[in-house]
A and B are shown apart, each in its own frame.
Chain A
Amino acid sequence: MVTITNMSKSFDNGKNYALRNVSFTLIQGKSYGIVGESGSGKTTLIRLLCGLETPCAGTILVNGTVVTSNTVFMPPEKRKIGLVFQDYALFPHLSVYENIVYGIAKKSDRNKRVSEVLNLVGLNGLEKRYPHELSGGQQQRVALARALAPKPTVLILDEPFSNLDASLRTQLRNELFSIIKKTNTTAIFVTHDTEDALAVADEILVLKNGILLQKNSAQELYLSPNSYYVASLFGNVITLDNDSLKMFGINEASCISIRQEDIQLNSNTEFSAQAQVIRSKFMGEKYQLELSIADKVLLVNHITSLETKNCTIGFNKNNIMYFSAS
């Protein structure tokens, strides 16, 4: 189990914070996704967890042992945390076998363990190759095998899919997930792509400007986001202001948000209004409709094109999301 309490980090003596008062707990065997845009503090957070940076404040406990605090600092090599780097960081002058065996402490276990992890990642027979002789996907598997070989308590994968093309990405994502689940290791996937996080994580942590906005399962994040930012990360969100809401017969709220997919066309809903169709745009498997309501332009997806000039749009009460102005 990993517990992080009130973790803060500044690289310029407190002028700006890369991470501010972050606290959370990770449970053994589960997989987590850390999501956020560039500069949100994802990398800083995992570097602090690994012991590659020292924090300004806060404590980190791994399985009940304090590894970082104001007075304690356990070096990275003693933390039993595995890290798969974004660029894989394979040792260029060592073969696949030598790369994997590098982190195994017990000499007697070495060959057995190398063969186990190579089997796990499906790279048997490539032991003698050097990193430059492997494809991008193979390099990533070697990096994963190398990180798994010493049996880490926590395995962190930093942007594991960012260097892969779209087709390989989906395939490897599924493979990676099943490999990690087999090992029962606590895994942390760091990514800026929410689709990746949804595919591999049991729980997702959303970071923005160094602050942890929300930590929940993917379903909870989608259904009950605690901020507009979190809601917009997991799908397109339409915000209706006071004037637009009056068209739907809602007078008490100043501003609400609704997911794009919850807006229904020409059907019976609790709230509905007339909208003008500006244009229909063919987007492949769907059409994107540009609609105008109270001088506001809304983009709504629909399976067919609309030939009429007007249409009815609506939504139900349970689709409404209220967020504070901040």
Chain B
Amino acid sequence: MIKKINHIIRDTNKWSVLTLTIICLITIPIFTIGIKLFYGPGDSWEHLTQTVLIDYITNSLLLLLGTSILCLFFGVSTAWIVSRYEFPFRKQIEWLLILPLTIPSYIIAYAYAGIVDYGGLLEKVTFDILPKFDVMNVTGLIWVLSISLYPYVYVASRAFFLNQSGRLFEASRLLGAGEFKTVFKLILPLARPAIIGGLVLVLMEVLNDYGAAKYYGVSTFTTGIFRAWFALEEPETAIYLSALLVVIIFVLLGIERWQRKKISYAISSKTQVPLHRKLPTLKLKFIIFTFVGVPILFGFIIPLIQLIYWALLTYETVINDGFLSTAMQSFSISLLSAIATVLFALALVYFTKWNRLRILDYFTKVGTLGYAIPGAVIAIGVLLPTLSFDKYLLNYLLDIHKIKIGLFINGTILALLYAYIVRFMAVAHNPIEAVSLKVNTSVTESSKMLGNGTLKTFFKIEFPLIKTGIYSALVLVFVDVMKELPLTLILKPYQVQTLAVQAYEYASDEQIMEAALPALLLIFTGVLPIILLNKLINR
């Protein structure tokens, strides 16, 4: 026992303390919500259970189930097609299939509402021969979320099909199995962990969605949290709902982890042979273009046309000083948050590496849990402890130093920045960790063996080698913060406005056409850095 304590003291260095500090800072909001589950809900809980809670649960479950089915269908089928067949414009189509991810779900929701509305795009194109149908319901929401989120499944499945299945496919065919049997008996079961990995990301986004569900009038857990917080003015109930949502998410994460454990049998470096692409017949080409065309058309092109059409109608009224200032604010906040998150992620990756207390490695992953927790829940998780801190600071300064100040963190950009760091830590952490693992440990160790300390080794040796990973992390967080809605709605200071919030507010005020221009700017800022990053990586 004494020997173990001696070892802990021996192996604890400044980096251990700093690692623990960062992990604590990131996990405080998540644990605050978790702990509140034991405090029980507010007075209106009973009323909620008798009225809307059942709707929250059924609608959330329906959304999870519906989007799972559709995302699996679109994601896996398109991934298989682009991996298995060689057809005209395949490379371009591979890219186009990812693009729906650049449009936030709530903006696709606004676009669809306009498309099927009276006098909308659909009516004009079809000369009003189609019967009217309503998308502002659970079914419509399932469609909207699926068509915008299926790329998560597509990307994960495609990576597996392209890199892993070549040798397996050849072995199966040589054993006499046909294409159909090979796909359904061999490839799909083996790809299951990868596919589920992508699907879990979809489900997290579905639970995170606020803008689309609110606009379509579908009550979900997330809209319930907002309702309890703002309409019922009962934070306890909002917190309790958040805690229940966190429980659901932990179950989903558990499933994903359980599946990931199985991935070891599926991925072997020895079987990493690309799948040989086959030339389709004319009939098959028609089927292929239908399969890949539907998600591109409905997930990207049609909503984009609708938004451009609206933007052309409204740009004269929307573009004014206020709009430009919002765009600038949105851009600055996103850039600032991206830099701060990347710095924290870099610190977490490297402080953990430099710390010798190996037990801390287990906690590092906890620091990246924020991405799985919906924005609204994180916002509340940030609000509670920072409010306590502000109150303590206020009283301390007033009682001891007789200084009167306002709230230091809450209602300022600091709270928003803190919440973004918690929420998007994983987005920055993953590419930085991946690229840092590629730097051969012997390179950094040899720097130390040559008498150079940890920081000199980092700045002189590692930093130049991991720059691409840092740029990727910056771009990814920047794009995510630009699009973020529920968290921003709760935590943004009164005078601060972002493009996402502006689009949401226009849509909420029944000025849907005016929402198009900020939405288009959001899409543009999402696509552009990804193209630039792609060029940078290729260079």
Q: Which of B453, B460, B464, B465 contacts A77 (CB 8 A)?
A: B453
**Inter-chain contact B10/A54, CB cutoff 8 Å:** yes
How many angstroms between the C-alpha atoms of A264 and B452 in the bound complex? 58
Which of A87-95, A118-126, A175-183 has 4 or more CB atoms under 8 Å from chain B?
Answer: A87-95
**Inter-chain contact A89/B448, CB cutoff 8 Å:** no
- Once A54-B356, A89-B440, A89-B442 are accepted as A-B contacts, the answer to whether A82 and B449 lie under 8 Å apart by CB is yes
Report B440 CB to chain A, min CB distance, Å: 6
0 or 1 for each of B447-480: is its CB under 8 Å from A? (1 = yes):
1111111100000110011000000000000000
Which among A57, A70, A72, A149 has the greatest number of chain B C-beta atoms within 10 A?
Answer: A70
Chain A residues closer than 8 Å to B453, beta-carbon distance: 75, 77
Report A59 CB to chain B, min CB distance, Å: 12
How many angstroms between the C-alpha atoms of A81 and B6 in the bound complex? 25
**Inter-chain contact B464/A93, CB cutoff 8 Å:** yes
Q: Which of A76, A90, A146 contacts B448 (CB 8 A)?
A: A76
Chain A residue with Cβ nearest B445: A52
**Inter-chain contact A89/B446, CB cutoff 8 Å:** yes
**Inter-chain contact B10/A76, CB cutoff 8 Å:** no
- Once A54-B356, A83-B445, A85-B445 are accepted as A-B contacts, the answer to whether A146 and B7 lie under 8 Å apart by CB is no
- Once A70-B3, A85-B442, A93-B464 are accepted as A-B contacts, the answer to whether A102 and B10 lie under 8 Å apart by CB is no
Report B350 CB to chain A, min CB distance, Å: 15
Chain A residues closer than 8 Å to B319, beta-carbon distance: none
Chain B residue with Cβ nearest A82: B449
How many angstroms between the C-alpha atoms of A118 and B451 in the bound complex? 19
**Inter-chain contact A71/B446, CB cutoff 8 Å:** no
Q: Which of B3, B356, B445 contacts A89 (CB 8 A)?
A: B445
Chain A residue with Cβ nearest B2: A70
Say yes or no: is A50 at the interface (Cβ < 8 Å to chain B).
Answer: yes
Report A305 CB to chain B, min CB distance, Å: 43
Report B10 CB to chain A, min CB distance, Å: 5
**Inter-chain contact B451/A103, CB cutoff 8 Å:** yes
- Once A85-B442, A89-B442, A93-B465 are accepted as A-B contacts, the answer to whether A105 and B7 lie under 8 Å apart by CB is no
Which secondary structure characterizes the binding site on chain B?
helix
Chain B residue with Cβ nearest A84: B446
How many angstroms between the C-alpha atoms of A6 and B386 in the bound complex? 51
Chain B residues closer than 8 Å to A105, beta-carbon distance: 451
**Inter-chain contact A77/B448, CB cutoff 8 Å:** yes
Say yes or no: is B531 at the interface (Cβ < 8 Å to chain A).
Answer: no
Q: Which of B447, B449, B464, B465 contacts A50 (CB 8 A)?
A: B449
Say yes or no: is B233 at the interface (Cβ < 8 Å to chain A).
Answer: no
Report B404 CB to chain A, min CB distance, Å: 48
Chain A residues closer than 8 Å to B6, beta-carbon distance: 70-71
Chain A residues closer than 8 Å to B448, beta-carbon distance: 52, 75-77
Chain B residues closer than 8 Å to A81, beta-carbon distance: 449
How many angstroms between the C-alpha atoms of A72 and B7 in the bound complex? 9
Chain B residue with Cβ nearest A85: B442
Q: Which of A54, A93, A102, A149 contacts B452 (CB 8 A)?
A: A102
Say yes or no: is B361 at the interface (Cβ < 8 Å to chain A).
Answer: no
Report A99 CB to chain B, min CB distance, Å: 9
B-side interface size class? 20 to 34
**Inter-chain contact B7/A70, CB cutoff 8 Å:** yes
Query: Which chain B residues numbered 412 to 443 have a C-beta less than 8 Å away from chain A?
Result: 440, 442-443
Chain A residues closer than 8 Å to B442, beta-carbon distance: 85-87, 89
How many angstroms between the C-alpha atoms of A83 and B446 in the bound complex? 7
Report B4 CB to chain A, min CB distance, Å: 10
Say yes or no: is A147 at the interface (Cβ < 8 Å to chain B).
Answer: yes
**Inter-chain contact B10/A147, CB cutoff 8 Å:** no
**Inter-chain contact B11/A77, CB cutoff 8 Å:** no
Chain B residue with Cβ nearest A146: B450
**Inter-chain contact A70/B445, CB cutoff 8 Å:** no
Report A56 CB to chain B, min CB distance, Å: 8
Report B455 CB to chain A, min CB distance, Å: 11
How many angstroms between the C-alpha atoms of A174 and B465 in the bound complex? 35
How many angstroms between the C-alpha atoms of A92 and B447 in the bound complex? 12
**Inter-chain contact B9/A77, CB cutoff 8 Å:** no
Report A44 CB to chain B, min CB distance, Å: 14
Chain A residues closer than 8 Å to B445, beta-carbon distance: 50, 52, 76, 83, 85, 89
Say yes or no: is A80 at the interface (Cβ < 8 Å to chain B).
Answer: yes
How many angstroms between the C-alpha atoms of A50 and B453 in the bound complex? 14
Which among B440, B445, B446 has the greatest number of chain A C-beta atoms within 10 A?
Answer: B446
Say yes or no: is A150 at the interface (Cβ < 8 Å to chain B).
Answer: yes
Q: Which of B356, B443, B449 contacts A147 (CB 8 A)?
A: B449
Report A8 CB to chain B, min CB distance, Å: 11
Chain B residues closer than 8 Å to A85, beta-carbon distance: 442, 445-446
Chain A residue with Cβ nearest B465: A93
0 or 1 for each of B366-390: is its CB under 8 Å from A? (1 = yes):
0000000000000000000000000
- Once A54-B11, A93-B465 are accepted as A-B contacts, the answer to whether A73 and B443 lie under 8 Å apart by CB is no
Q: Which of B10, B460, B465 contacts A72 (CB 8 A)?
A: B10
Q: Which of B356, B447, B451, B460 contacts A80 (CB 8 A)?
A: B451
Chain B residues closer than 8 Å to A93, beta-carbon distance: 464-465
**Inter-chain contact A71/B10, CB cutoff 8 Å:** yes
How many angstroms between the C-alpha atoms of A57 and B465 in the bound complex? 36
Chain A residues closer than 8 Å to B11, beta-carbon distance: 54, 73
Which residues does A use to contact B, with CB under 8 Å? Answer: 50, 52, 54, 56-57, 70-73, 75-78, 80-83, 85-87, 89-93, 102-103, 105, 143, 146-147, 149-150
Chosen A-B contacts, 18 in total, with CB atoms closer than 8 Å, are A52-B448, A54-B356, A57-B3, A75-B448, A75-B453, A77-B451, A80-B451, A81-B449, A83-B446, A89-B442, A89-B443, A91-B443, A92-B465, A102-B447, A143-B446, A147-B449, A149-B450, A150-B450
List the 9 closest A-B pairs by CB distance, nearest first.
Answer: A103-B450, A89-B442, A85-B442, A89-B446, A76-B448, A83-B449, A77-B448, A89-B443, A70-B6
Which residues does B use to contact A, with CB under 8 Å? Answer: 3, 6-7, 9-11, 356, 440, 442-443, 445-454, 460-461, 464-465
